[in-house]
């Protein structure tokens, strides 16, 4: 039996981290905990290793990956930082903010990571076990969410097993993810403008306070390849803004709309973000034929929640990660 057939869930203690480091060094894949969602990691300097991520996820190769760095020093070997980038890194790293920056000419990054673009998406994660792993390695890690392309992102090891169980040798168990939705992604452009490419835990309001208004000049827009409309799909119809369940629906509640499970009975958006994918997984696994979701306020991290829900509700055939 090859090690592809059995996925081990390994405690993220010193011994587990050392084993994960060994697999990664030798070009293998490991699912790793981060503060956002579980990532499917490979060394970012190896084309062969990165190719395994695309294959395991069934991810289209035009969809570039986020690179996770140990610290700012490692980030500076990969991308060109301007004053704004230094400022944002000082404020939000380690943490759930991804910066899209110009790729350095001599960066040791496999071209598959950036899907051939001249920019790269970088983040320094804050999860203590991911930090310990990066500190052991001599290279950064490319790591998209550890799920099949189009599927629901994983926030617990069992979600990873359900989606990628036969594809990877190891999941490093760091318990449930604290934030629960993917990082905020912004692009900083040479001309001084910026764009929010994906809403996330670092809110747009907090970025506007630092960077000023987001650019709206269409010519100046950077594309965010891979931000396609269908994503996070539970494989069943999803109805949004529901106040009650109709026949055959599993209701994901919020606040006073109780539901079969509830994102946050107290109406707390941070808690709702942390529970979002667990509730979607539960709804997907239930015997109900469809899913309804209660309204979630469109403010703060509620924007990221609504972004993911809108994509989960997009019917098949609309494109995907």
- Residue 100 binding: pick among ligand AMP, Mg ion, none (C-beta 5-8 Å cut-off by kind): ligand AMP
Specify the residue, 124 or 155, whose C-beta has the smaller distance to Mg ion.
155
Specify the residue, 232 or 250, whose C-beta has the smaller distance to ligand AMP.
232
Instruction: Write down the least CB distance from residue 149 to Mg ion, Å.
Output: 8
Q: Looking at beta carbons, which residue is closest to ligand AMP?
A: 226
Write the interaction track for ligand AMP spanning residues 111-130; mark x where CB under 6 A is met and - where it is not: ---x--x-xxx---------
Specify the residue, 16 or 125, whose C-beta has the smaller distance to ligand AMP.
125
Write the interaction track for ligand AMP spanning residues 223-262; mark x where CB under 6 A is met and - where it is not: -xxxx-----------------------------------
Q: Does 188 bind ligand AMP (CB under 6 A)?
A: no
Q: Does 7 bind Mg ion (CB under 5 A)?
A: no
Let me know if 71 is exposed, middle or buried by CB neighbors in 10 A (0-12, 13-18, 19+).
middle
Interacting positions 138-157 with Mg ion (CB under 5 A):
145
Instruction: Write down the least CB distance from residue 257 to ligand AMP, Å.
Output: 29
Contact footprint for Mg ion (CB under 5 A): 145
């Amino acid at each position: 039996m090859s090690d592809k057939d059995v996925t081990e869930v390994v405690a993220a203690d010193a011994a587990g981290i050392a084993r994960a480091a060994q697999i990664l060094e030798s070009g293998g894949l490991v699912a790793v905990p981060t503060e956002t969602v579980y990532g499917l990691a490979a060394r970012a300097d190896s084309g062969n290793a990165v190719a395994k991520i695309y294959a395991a996820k069934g991810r289209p190769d035009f969809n570039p990956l986020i690179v996770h760095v140990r610290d700012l020093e490692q980030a500076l070997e990969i991308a060109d930082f301007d004053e704004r980038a230094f400022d944002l890194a000082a404020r939000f790293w380690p943490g759930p903010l991804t910066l899209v920056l110009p790729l350095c000419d001599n960066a040791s990054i496999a071209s598959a990571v950036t899907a051939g673009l001249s920019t790269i998406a970088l983040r320094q994660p804050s999860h203590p076990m991911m930090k310990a792993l990066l500190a052991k390695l001599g290279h950064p890690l490319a790591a998209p969410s550890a799920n099949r392309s189009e599927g629901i992102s994983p926030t617990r090891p069992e979600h990873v097993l359900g989606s990628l169980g036969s594809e990877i040798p190891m999941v490093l168990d760091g318990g449930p993810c604290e934030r629960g939705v993917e990082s905020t992604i912004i692009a900083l452009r040479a001309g001084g403008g910026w764009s929010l490419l994906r809403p996330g835990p670092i809110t747009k309001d907090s970025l506007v306070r630092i960077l000023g208004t987001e650019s709206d000049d269409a010519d100046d827009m950077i594309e965010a390849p891979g931000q396609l409309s269908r994503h996070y799909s539970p494989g069943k119809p999803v109805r949004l803004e529901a106040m009650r369940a109709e026949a055959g629906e599993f209701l994901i509640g919020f606040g006073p709309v109780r539901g079969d499970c509830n994102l946050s009975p107290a109406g707390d958006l941070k808690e709702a973000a942390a529970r979002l994918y667990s509730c979607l997984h539960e709804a997907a696994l239930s015997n109900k034929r469809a899913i309804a979701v209660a309204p979630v306020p469109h403010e703060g991290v509620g924007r990221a929640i609504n972004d993911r829900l809108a994509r989960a509700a997009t019917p098949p055939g609309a494109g995907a990660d």
